[in-house]
Amino acid sequence: MLSFIVRRLLSGAVLLFVITTVAYALLYVGGGDIARRILGQNATQEAVAAKAAELGLDRPLWEQYGGWLSQAVTGDLGRSWFSGQLVSVGVSSRLAVTLSIVIGAVLIAAVIAVVLGVLAAVRGGVVDRIVQFISVLGFAIPGFLIALGLVLVFAINLRLFKATGYVPITTDVGGWIASVTLPVIALAIGAIASVTQQVRGSVVDALSRDYVRTLRSRGLGSGRVVYKHVLRNAGGPALAILAVQFVGLLGGAVIVEQIFALPGLGQLAVQSTTNGDIPIVMGLVLATAFIVVIVNLLIDLAQAALNPKVRLS
């Protein structure tokens, strides 16, 4: 078990290295005249060249990347070229916002999807068709359209929630809930749709297994068999799709944060990529890739806990 975790962490580290290398190379190639952009159109040629030298932009790619990397492994991600803020501070404060809505959406999606998926698989018939239809709709309608609809109905017409802005949980719990509810719903709907389909599929599959019949032949009620045995067996594939959803929602959060004006990673990503603020972009890439690696590891561990056959492999 321990060697499994170590192996996965090592391969995660390799993944982080490759992703940051590729990202750095791409940013370098397409960076354009960043020094000029920082200083503005009126700066003199000499000032621009001096700024470029100060940022190390005049050095070759591998030297720049090497410098970034050697600092990054010590936890120093540098400062933003534009605001001068520490990247680690800027990114982590934004990360808290994004993670709170993404994790909220994933948890809600998991609970609702398991209920709907099991219901559809066990009841079949009309219930199944209704659930399937709803989840197809939820899957097909782009998340940002749902977000727009939510803003229009609940924030602008009914005035139940604030349309924009963010209240940190540390300042006001009620205000925090009011500010994240709509974004979480907007993100969760698409995830609910996909995960429901997966849960339904794997429950239908697990229900048809021989051991279900044998356990029932021993006198166990079908409810007990479904909630203890079928759910545990169907849990693996459902967790896998949940991990995929998590990664997808990190991306989806970019658009949703923009609509609800939440100060999350997405906003930062839009700003810094348009400016060409390489330290910030690298910090973002590193943070998202790191989260993805950790989430995948956690999901794998959860799967191993669910199914002994997966263990140690």
Partner 1 sequence: MLSRLLAATQISIAAALVAVVVALVLGVVGGLLAGYYGGWFDSVSSWLTGLVMALPGIVVLLAARAVLGPSVWLSMAIFGVLMSPAFFRLVYASVTAVRNELYVDAARVSGLRDGRIISRHILSVVRAPVIIQSAMITGIAIAIQSGLEFLGLGDLSVPTWGSMLSDGFAKIYNAPLLMLWPSLAIGLTCISLTLLANALRDALERTVSTRRRRREGKVNGAPAERTAVVGHQDDARAATGEVLLSVRDLHVGYDQPDGSLTQVVHGIDLDIRRGEVHGLIGESGSGKTQTAFSVLGLLPSGGRVTRGTIDFGGIQLAGAGEGVFRKVRGKRIAYVPQEPMSNLDSAFTIGSQLVEPMQVVLGLSKKEATERALALLARVGLPDPKKTFASYPHEISGGQAQRVLIAGAVSCDPELLIADEPTTALDVTVQAEVLDLLRDLQAEFGMAMLLVTHNFGVVADLCDRVSVMQSGLIVETGPVRSIFNHAEHPYTQSLLDAILEDGEPRGTLGSRKEVSA
Pick between residue 52 and residue 287 the one whose CB is nearest to partner 1.
287
Rounded to the nearest 5°, which phi and psi values hold at 79?
-120, 155
The CA angle 120-248-242, to the nearest 5 degrees, is 40
The CA angle 118-122-128, to the nearest 5 degrees, is 80
Scanning the chain, the segments in alpha helix (DSSP H) are 2-30, 34-39, 45-55, 61-72, 87-123, 125-140, 143-150, 173-207, 210-217, 222-224, 231-260, 265-275, 278-306
Pick between residue 129 and residue 172 the one whose CB is nearest to partner 1.
129
Q: Are 273 and 37 in contact (CB under 8 A)?
A: no
CB 46, min distance to partner 1, A: 27
Q: What gap in Å lies between CA 282 and CA 267, rounded to an integer?
A: 15
Q: Which of 1, 29, 158, 312 binds partner 1 (CB under 8 A)?
A: 29
Pick between residue 107 and residue 136 the one whose CB is nearest to partner 1.
136
Among the listed residues 281, 278, 284, the one whose alpha carbon sits nearest the alpha carbon of residue 64: 278
Pick between residue 71 and residue 222 the one whose CB is nearest to partner 1.
222
Kindly state whether residue 233 participates in binding partner 1, applying the rule CB under 8 A. Answer: yes
CB 303, min distance to partner 1, A: 11
Q: Are 193 and 137 in contact (CB under 8 A)?
A: yes
First-last CA distance in the chain = 9
CB 173, min distance to partner 1, A: 29
Q: Which of 27, 52, 186, 238 binds partner 1 (CB under 8 A)?
A: 27
Kindly state whether residue 101 participates in binding partner 1, applying the rule CB under 8 A. Answer: no
- Restricted to residues 147-176, the positions that interact with partner 1 (CB under 8 A) are 148-149, 151-152, 156
Q: Let me know if 125 is exposed, middle or buried by CB neighbors in 10 A (0-12, 13-18, 19+).
A: exposed
* x-marked contacts with partner 1 along 256-275 as a string, rule CB under 8 A: --xx------x--xx--xxx
Kindly state whether residue 229 participates in binding partner 1, applying the rule CB under 8 A. Answer: yes
Q: How far is CA 180 from CA 166, 187, 225, 242, in A?
A: 7, 11, 37, 21
Pick between residue 107 and residue 156 the one whose CB is nearest to partner 1.
156
- Interface region with partner 1, contact rule CB under 8 A, candidates 56-64, 79-87, 104-112, 290-298: 290-298
CB 172, min distance to partner 1, A: 26
CB 15, min distance to partner 1, A: 6
- Restricted to residues 188-227, the positions that interact with partner 1 (CB under 8 A) are 208-211, 213-222, 224
- Restricted to residues 125-144, the positions that interact with partner 1 (CB under 8 A) are 136-137, 139-144
Kindly state whether residue 250 participates in binding partner 1, applying the rule CB under 8 A. Answer: yes
Size of the site for partner 1 (CB under 8 A): 72
